[in-house]
Structures are given as structure tokens and as C-alpha cells.
Structure 1
């Protein structure tokens, strides 16, 4: 499901968009299952999209991830998943977005999974590069884009503007009929100090804490967890879902705390999700 009006008339992607928007505006039937869950206050479960090859080569050297339509199709067939999280923060790869989208759209899919794509932070390659990546990811079929390391209220507003520039219909508390996800991540001490102001920025969908990055920046896990809870409190205050990485040891606690996006990884992800779904009554 493409959800952006970045292309002019006549392209396949823009044709798909117009149909989806029209049906959504009439009866909401095109709303992603993920959004329906969150709108009803229910937790949703997803996984990091795994690379088709191991992270490390036989000699221990890091290998650039490889993503394929076949990998996307495998995820599409998994009935436990509500969304998939394609992490391109360290290595931007537009072809990966297209490949996973193709796989998720396969005829064998169990249900429609939302494709969330994390791009490199604005601070890495600058405003224009981040803008182009948001636009390109959405045009390639991402259902949402994740903005990591948002450093300030000003940068959050800038990130929101990237979606506005292409008339993306962003789902938010003020726009419950939206179909596009925009997610902001607080991962730095300076941003944590502005968490109230960042939470109050209108026009985005999910507010989350990158607890690993924040813990490293603050010097210990306890401080990172305290910051994580601050972000959760602000997300709840403004009615935004919060997403957190989890496993079978902490997913029940995270659900009880009020996290609505539970993100798993690794070969045991399905087992961890099953624990979470049982706790959530799903």
C-alpha cells in the first residue's frame, strides 16, 4: 500500500495512492491493521527485517546487510507480525526498501504488514539528504519513516516538514484517518531535555526512545531507562504510541508500562512475540 503523493499523475505508485486514499476517506477500509490496533490502544508487534546474509563473515568481518523480495515475502507470511522495521540508519539503501515492499505485497502474505524504514539521522548527512530519503522511502512503498537521533524541537519540526512537503497523510492524534507513519526517536541527552517540547510538536505518529544509544550517551543503563520512561510519559500525555525493543524476558513488563510498539529481533523473535501477544490478549 503506497501512501504518498510525491509523484505526478500517470505513475503506478501514484495510481495506487489515489485508490487507497479514496477508499480510506470513505470508510477507513484501507487503514493499516497496525493503525487500527494503536487507535484502539492495543499493543502491536514487529521485527527488525533480517539480512539475507550473516552480520559477520567467516573471518569475523562485518558484512553489509542484503535485503530481498524473498525475505520480505517470508515476513509477509508470518501471522504474528503487525509491522516490520527496516533499519537503514547505518547504510542507506533505497533498493532494500523496494525489495521488502515487493515481498510484503506478495500473494502469500498473511495480512498487511506496515513497513517502517529507519533512515540515517539528519545530523549524519544533512537536511537535504534526510529530506530526499524520506521522500524516496515513501515513494518506494514505505508505510512510515523513522527519524533517529532527533536532537531538538526545531529538528522535530523540520522532520515533520519533510512529510508535509509531499502531502503525506500522516496519522496522528489530530488526524486519525491518516495512513502514513512518521516516527521520532529521542536518543541524546540534549533531546531528552527537550522531550516535552518535542512531544508537543504536531504532525507525527510515534515518539520513542532509543534506549541503547541514550544509555551509552548518559553513561549507564539506569539513566537510560529513566530517560526511556520520561519519553513514555510524554508520549502518553500527547496520545502517541511509544515503541521499544523487547524480548521474552521483558515484553510483558513493557506492555504493562504502556508501550504500544514491541520490536523483536533474532531467530527467537516469534517466541518472544508469542509471549507478548498472549499478555496483550491477542
Structure 2
């Protein structure tokens, strides 16, 4: 059994400080094999915000893997955003914009979807996609996980633009054997298979909201605990209630010839699709 904790959109500079310790405690209590962080560490990509984000990461007992979000490049310093967009992220969080983590029975790969020219929307970097597929194709690990800040699919009521060619990217990831895609950006929860035209429900999307930000957009602060076997995934949503994170329901998926299928009805959580 592999356990991955998925958190996103911490937004240091716009955090609920009363949730800092509870989130660290809740993540460490899971005894995860990996903490996956899908971007937006900061609100305005300032050095002080990055220092706070790194101090937060350093409190995790499990190894972590991270990708940047659009808030992690400067919005108000145009020269920095266009010429050296990831300098501060590299200095404070991770120098590698295509990080890879291999664990016991799983491999996780991070994709950088941030577009410094279109600050909000995001983009696919096809060289990274090809490299991820090569890793998956050459891998003996049973579970293959992708991290990205921007979602590759979103509900119709979302006003933000979806990344160009996101559907094509899902087809490619499905074809090369990716099992899960973890993302953030929208500050809303979603857990369900992508429905690819060619490959059915090959890839399971886990989309968490914000772990710490006060910009809640109608949903609670949350994160996900993923319990994974080669052919099964149990997704538990952890939400902030008062000054602690508590389970708010789980959903199990089985992987078979047609890809991922729901194994049980989720508890009614009152927010969005999926869990």
C-alpha cells in the first residue's frame, strides 16, 4: 500500500495562520510515503512569502515533491516575470522544474504548467510530457502519478480558461500509462476519472482546494489522502473544521480493463462533483 498526501494552493501571504499547525500535524499524522504539493506556494511570489512556504515544507516528516503555480511567478514585476519567472521558486522551493520521485512501488513526476506570458491560464510543455511518458514506459513501478498546478479538465461553471490542448495531453498521458493526475488552481474539490476518447477512464484526477488560503471560493480548506494499490485507489478528503482537519468522506476506485471505476457511493459532502 502506498499513501500520498496531496495539498495545494497554500498562498503564503494570504493564509489562515490558525490552520498552519493543524495542517502540518494532520499531514504528519498520515505517515505518508510522499507529500505532493501542486503549486501556488505564495500569493505574490515575494521572497518573504517563499521563506515562509519553505519553513512550512521543512516541517513535514515525509519526503515531498512540488511544482510551481501561477502565483509563484511575479505578477507586479514584469521584468522578473518574463525574464526570470522561476528564479525565486528555484531559490526557495526546488531548483528542478521537472521533479521525479521514486518510492516503493510508485513513481511521481511533476509537470510545470505555468505560463509567464498568460499568467492565469497555464500551458502544456510537450518536452516534459514526452519525458514523463518515457519515465513511465521504462518504469517497473506499479503506480504512476503526475503532478501539475493547472487542471486538465474542469466543470462548465468554472470561469477560468482551461489550458490549450489539455484533452490531447490527457490522451498522451493515458497512452503512456499514467494512473493519477493531481492538480489544484481552482480552489475546489474533484475526484473522478478523466473520460478520454481513446483510452476511456485510464487516468484518475484528484483535484484539491486550498490547504491554507483565506480565498475559499465557497468550499472549506482541504487536502487529500490517497491510499493506493496497483489496481485500487481510496481517496479521503480532509477538511478544516475549527482548528483541525478531519475526514469528510472517502471514495474508492477500482482499476480494470476499462480503466477506473467507482467502487462505492461517496458520502454527501455538499460541495462540487466527485467526493
Calculate the TM-score normalised by the size of structure 1. 0.44
Calculate the TM-score normalised by the size of structure 2. 0.45
* Bigger proportion of residues as strand: 2
* Bigger proportion of residues as helix: 1
